[in-house]
Amino acid sequence: MAEGSIETYESEDRVFPPTADFASAALTNDRSMYEEAEADYEAFWARQARELLTWDQDFHTTLEWELPFAQWFIGGKLNMSVNCLDRHVDAGLGDRVAYHWEGEPGDQRTITYTDLLADVERFANVMLSLGLSKGDRVAIYMPMIPELPVAMLACTRIGVVHSVIFGGFSPDAITDRCEDADAKMVITADAGYRRGAPSALKPNVDAALAAGAPSVEHVVVVDRCGTDPEMVEGRDHWWHDVMAEAAPHCPPESMDAEDLLYILYTSGTTAKPKGIMHTTGGYLAQVAFTQKYVFDLKPDSDVWWCGADIGWVTGHSYIVYGPLTLGATQVMYEGTPDTPRQELRSADRSTWDKDRLWDIIERYGVTQLYTAPTAIRTFMRWGAQWPNSHDLSSLRLLGTVGEPINPEAWMWYHEFIGGESCPIVDTWWQTETGANMITPLPGVVPTKPGSATLPIPGVFAEVVDDAGDVVKEGGGYLTLSRPWPGMLRGIWGDPERYHDTYWSTYEGRYFAGDGARRDADGYLWLLGRVDDVMNVSGHRISTSEVESALVDHPAVAEAAVVGAKDEITGQAIVGYVILIGSAELTDSLRSEIRQHVANKLGPTARPKAVFIVPDLPKTRSGKIMRRLLRDVADGQVLGDTTTLADPGVVAEIRDRAAESDEE
């Protein structure tokens, strides 16, 4: 990063654009939407749903709300794939590019709306011929290739519910998710390219299905990398074979607004991941609204790029459903930002240029970039010089999501990527919220570096204190006080857990799990998770999930996990482990235990450090004091220890922690 380029400032007082205020801003959207939604938020969302979506049948009731269960746009019927594809083709836009896709090696595919619709119809027929029908669940475990959105949209065409499993997850995660949802089919690929080489997927599916999930009858496999995986006769089918045999046309299923669209699993405060349920009409209305007004998407001229993986909610909403509903042209990229195209690679990896992202923005003329603070901080560390060796002048808006962005990273994004002229939308939302919730509408709401600013029109967020009283100015817990269209409709198979997890902490409120501060202007500053969920590079991982994986190792008797501060990834996973009596502490044991977690949960969950300790600090009631362990991990001065059953333990833990080698 260029020395001295980031001045010290009071970020709260600094406003972008410097002259903007609500009254004088150059408006692409004017302030009236806030006023309209404030006056009658149901009418506001009803108008958006009717304006942005194509309905087979209009809804008769906008909202029915019986805490914690909401129904939006009751009586309305629509099909997701029709909204994303058919209506654009019917409007004469079939030749418009939907995806400029680039594989990590540098191979390219240009996919128009006509192409995408043809593939979706065919694959929907494949699923029908393999015995799937409306309401069935299908697991999708794929790399970032065009067949992934095709598979998702094909599900929506016939009313099949998809459950996308992030490609970085391990076989255990696939087994659990397929079992929980009773999935009938898995759609996968042999492998996907990552960091210059194929990263296997199909073998993980084989391992997962060998361990359980007997409900899975069929596996469809895209041949992405030619790695020649084992194919089980009768169960496994090559994508290209079944597609060649499929009929070309598949009429869309007219779905109820409240029919289940997808399940997406997310980490909770207990070890078992929660199957977050999203339905069709409300979800799509809010996703389309935010795509249009938060990201200011102009489908005729823009090239939108969301750098997330479709395995997370960000990719569901802003690589698949949002942009396609509006008829946008996008870039979709398979690999990692530090992997150059094949033709530019030398044998020596250390000499590889880390400019793939800027190269892509320049070559495709990307107009909006949406990425995570972790990525931004990584780019900052790689250096400020090289983005400037590319022409990034096509960019006109930048977005950030996934974790709180520090003002320094915000300013770097603003200066070096945005050329000081692009508005930045810091978008706070969750898997559970379905779409953006707290973020500025560009041109309407002046921004402050590090603040997600204000709730979007029609969303009501309040900070409360321990007692649940509203905090007008100051810190507390972020809550949502009214239902919103994209909200989760529950946890698959567990309505009670839905109520207990989200709606029981503060009376009448959805508690988001995040801490937040509200400043004098009413701006919200996200402070990170206050529950037992860690946020590592924008990925939610629960402490208890990792703890279960740790105690699953034969040498581990007890374990506690905390998220320690990390400059790049936001938080890093640190495990404290008590060994069973007979276990011998060797140098390799620590890394073996870390690897064990990666095997169980996938590489994102691998602890950065594992400390072997004689005991864990517990309260008199036996609750592990994670705050203390976090302080130890952060290397901070320890707090008050008087409620500890054995205060001596902390000092010992700290000493041991200091001795342990952190990798």
Give the residues lining the site for ligand WTA (CB under 6 A). 266, 312-314, 401-404, 426-431, 452, 512-514, 526, 528-529, 535, 540
**Helix 171-181 × helix 587-601 angle, to 10°:** 30
C-alpha 635/C-alpha 638 separation (Å) is 9
Smallest distance, Å, CB 312 to ligand WTA?
6
Q: CB nearer to ligand WTA: give 290 or 339.
A: 290
Task: Assess contact for 191 and 199: CB atoms under 8 A.
Answer: yes
Non-local (6+) Cβ contacts of 612 within 8 A are 577, 578, 579, 585, 589, 590, 656, 660
| Rounded CA Rg of the chain | 24
How many Å apart are CA 93 and CA 112, to the nearest integer? 9
Gap between the Cα atoms of 287 and 282, Å rounded: 9
> Please, which residue, 329 or 535, has the CB nearer to ligand WTA?
535
**Side chain identity at 376, as an amino acid letter?**
I
Phi, psi of 218 (to 5 degrees): -135, 145
Q: Kindly tell me which of 89 and 573 has the beta carbon lying closer to ligand WTA.
A: 573
- Given the complex with ligand WTA, which of 206 and 514 has the nearer CB atom? 514
Nearest to ligand WTA of 198, 446 (CB atom): 446
Cβ count near 568 (within 10 Å):
14
Q: How far is the CB of 168 from ligand WTA (least distance, A)?
A: 13
Complex with ligand WTA: residue 225 or 452, whichever CB lies closer: 452
Nearest to 325 by CA among 368, 372, 371, 286: 286
Cα separation, 109 vs 177, in Å, equals: 31
Nearer to ligand WTA, 149 or 513 (CB): 513
If one counts every other C-beta atom within 10 angstroms of the C-beta of residue 343, the result is 7
> 644 is written with which tokens?
């500890």
Question: Least distance (Å) from ligand WTA to the CB of residue 291?
Answer: 14
Joined tokens for residue 284: 């799509």
Give the residue with the Cβ less far from ligand WTA, 199 or 266. Answer: 266
Rounded to a whole number of angstroms, the minimum distance from the CB of residue 53 to ligand WTA is 22
DSSP 16: B
Query: CB of residue 66 vs ligand WTA: minimum separation in angstroms?
Result: 25
In the complex with ligand WTA, the residue whose CB is nearer, 118 or 464, is 464
Give the shortest CB-246-to-ligand WTA separation in angstroms.
Answer: 34
**Which residue, 198 or 455, has its beta carbon nearer to ligand WTA?**
455
Smaller CB separation from ligand WTA, 190 or 309: 309
Is residue 135 exposed (0-12), middle (13-18) or buried (19+ Cβ within 10 Å)? exposed
Structure tokens at 398: 């930048």
| Minimal distance, residue 529 CB to ligand WTA, in Å | 5
Beta strands in 353-431 (DSSP E): 368-371, 397-400, 424-426
User: Quick one: 187 or 526, whose CB is closer to ligand WTA?
Assistant: 526
Cross-strand pairs, 515: 477, 528
Give 341 or 529: the residue with its C-beta nearer to ligand WTA.
529
Name the amino acid, one letter, at 28: T
Neighbour-count burial for 446-456, b at 16+ CB within 10 Å, e otherwise: bbbbbbbbbbb
In three-state secondary structure terms, 19 is coil
What's the closest the beta carbon of residue 287 comes to ligand WTA, in angstroms? Answer: 12
As measured in angstroms, the least distance from the Cβ of 524 to ligand WTA is 9
Q: Hey, what are 637's tokens?
A: 């001065």
User: What's the closest the beta carbon of residue 517 comes to ligand WTA, in angstroms?
Assistant: 12
Of 83 and 266, the one with the shorter C-beta distance to ligand WTA is: 266
Structure tokens, 328: 């946008």
Shortest distance, CB of residue 408 to ligand WTA, whole angstroms? 15
Pick between residue 305 and residue 428 the one whose CB is nearest to ligand WTA.
428
Minimum Å gap between C-beta 437 and ligand WTA is: 9
CA–CA dist 212, 64 (Å, integer): 39
Q: For ligand WTA, give the closer residue by CB, 81 or 453.
A: 453
CA distance 149 to 113: 12
Q: Shortest Cβ distance from residue 42 to ligand WTA (Å)?
A: 25
- H or E element: which one contains 91? none
Q: How far is the CB of 495 from ligand WTA (least distance, A)?
A: 20
Instruction: Choose among 536, 660, 643: nearest CA to 598.
Output: 536
Encoded tokens for 201: 């997927």
Other C-beta atoms closer than 10 Å to the C-beta of 463 total 22
Q: Tell me the HSE value of 104 on the side-chain side, using a 13 A CA sphere.
A: 20
Q: What angle in degrees, to the nearest 10, is found between the helix axes of 41-52 and 281-293?
A: 80
Q: Shortest gap between Cβ of 571 and ligand WTA (angstroms)?
A: 10
CA gap 543, 549 in Å, rounded: 10
3-state class of 512 per DSSP? strand
Amino acid code (one letter) for 110: T
> Which of 193-230 are b and which e, b meaning 16 or more Cβ less than 10 Å from the residue's Cβ?
bbebebbbbbebbbebbeeebeebebbbbbbbbeeebe
Say how far residue 423 (Cα) sits from the centre of its chain: 22
In the complex, minimum distance from the CB of residue 92 to ligand WTA, in angstroms, rounded to a whole number? 34
